[in-house]
Structure 1
Amino acid sequence: MKKKISFLTLGAALIAVPVLAAQGGKMGDADGNGVLTRAEAQAHATEKFAKMDANGDGKLDQSDREAKRAEMHAKMFERLDADKDGSISKAEWDQRAADREAKRDGWRGKRMAAADGERGMRGHHGMRGGHHGMSGGRDMMMKADTDGDKAISQAEFQTAALARFDAADTNKDGQVTAEERRAARDAMRAQWKAKRAAAPDAN
């Protein structure tokens, strides 16, 4: 189970590599012009790999996932420990629970308000797409791990990122526009839906 979770985690990270995630001057679009070049995609992949490679050993594997989880736990403890005395009191714990519930209420209110409009429908599909994305992420992880060592090297990570860029760059002009990104996302969603529909037959 741990290996499966690790695959999903790293695979989901691969999905966040430029092309599908690049929108509105973010996630690799360095000059913010709404168009992602191959050079920008490569630079962003290098930067993202460095951030994900928690122990700096030049590969993404289970140890990086464990290090990231430990870092998240430490940050969570720091947030909970409001008075910074090195321990979490019941009052601090209760306050955290109250804050989380308030956020949930706010989120529920926004979701209900959006449910009546087209935007709400897109948000609903987006949540489902995120679920499919985890399965697609595992597939991408396995494809990126070309030598089958259950780890992704920087070279494998960049190769996967640029392969996604090249696939989205339908007119092969060395850049991916917003229209090409949308087309690539739609094609990926269609693949996920087809796989999900075929899953019962495979079992």
Structure 2
Amino acid sequence: MNRKIGLLTLGAALIAVPVLAAPRDGARGDADGNGTLTRAEAEAHAAQMFARMDANGDGRIDAADRAARRAEMQAKMFERIDADKDGNISRAEWDQHGAERAAKRAEAGEGRKGKRHAMRGHRGKRGGHHAMMLGRADTDGDKAISQAEFQAAALARFGAADANQDGQVTAEERQAARAAKRAEWRAKRAAAATGE
């Protein structure tokens, strides 16, 4: 049972990282809600995300923080599944949880399948793209990300999306950046599939 819960939460833990690419309806970190992300908003959002991810408050995001986050997520999931709050997950509670998940998937239909596939990230591994982004942020190779490294990576993504370099990322620039990333990923997948 714990193995299943661990596997369910692992994917969620890996995707809980800052991404300046916007959700479909607006820019993540757009504090004033005007649809345009400024450099100052990107910096503030990166600082908030870093503080949230640095679970032990030591100024670094490392394996200890990821383990703490996983444990927290597992505890929350256990709490949700343990309907009678007796500290155990019975077969009936587990089956009920599975039925609820199946119902949600059926309700979402084919769109949900596309999202799950997209979440697989780099080379079909769940959370792969986001884990890869965190790996790139670790510029000194110490397997931990300092606040400076985190901020630099966030601003690099901002700069890449800011096509006209005016210090703002508009909805059009976000869409263009997403399209360019998708094309890059497709090209990499095609190259990997052909063995190049």
Q: Same fold (TM over 0.5)?
A: yes
The aligned amino acid for 2:156 is: A
Q: Deviations over 1:110-134 (max 9, x none)?
A: 32xxxxxxxx6xx776655433354
Q: Is the 8 A contact 1:53 1:59 kept in 2?
A: yes
Contact kept? 1:61, 1:151, Cα under 8 Å: yes
Give the equivalent residue in structure 2 for 1:96. Answer: 97
Q: TM-score, normalised by structure 1?
A: 0.77
3-state SS of paired residue (1:195): helix
CA contact (8 A) 1:28 1:36 kept: yes
Q: 1:75-86 to 2 correspondence within 5 Å? A: 75-86=76-87
Question: Using the alignment, how far apart are the partners of 1:87 and 1:125 within structure 2?
Answer: 34
Alignment match, 2:71: 70
What's the Cα RMSD here?
A: 2.5
State the distance in 1 between where 2:88 and 2:115 align: 39
Q: Percent identity?
A: 61
Q: Is 1:152 aligned to residue 145 of structure 2? A: yes
Alignment deviations for residues 22-51 of structure 1 (CA, whole Å, 9 cap, x no partner) = 554452000000000000000000101111
Q: Where does residue 191 of structure 1 map in the other structure?
A: 184
Question: Alpha-carbon deviations, 1:33-84, whole Å to 9, x = none?
Answer: 0000000000000101111112222111222221111111111111122222
Quick one: distance in 2 between partners of 1:83 and 1:135?
36
On the 8 A contact 1:54/1:64 being kept in 2, the answer is yes
Pair 1:42–1:78, CA change in 2 (3 A): same
Deviation at 1:135, TM superposition (A): 4.3
Query: Structure 1 residues 39-48 or 131-140, which shifts more?
Result: 131-140
CA 1:86 to 1:124, structure 2 compared with 1: closer, same or farther past 3 Å? closer
Aligned to 2:3: none
Give ranges in structure 2 of 5+ residues lacking alignment.
1-9
1:1-203 alignment runs, 5 A limit: 12-14=15-17, 16-18=18-20, 20-21=21-22, 24-107=25-108, 110-111=109-110, 128-132=117-121, 134-200=127-193, 202=195
Q: Number of residue pairs matched? A: 181
Change (3 A) 1:70 1:125: closer
More contact order relative to length (CA 8 Å, sep ≥ 6): 1
- Relative to structure 1, the CA distance from residue 70 to residue 202 in structure 2 (aligned partners, 3 Å threshold; closer, same or farther) is same
Q: In 2 relative to 1, CA 64–94 (structure 1 residues): closer, same or farther, beyond 3 Å? A: same
Amino acid paired to 2:71: A
What amino acid maps onto 1:130 in structure 2?
M
Does 182-191 or 124-133 show the bigger shift? 124-133
Deviation at 1:189, TM superposition (A): 1.0
Deviates further, 29-38 or 126-135: 126-135
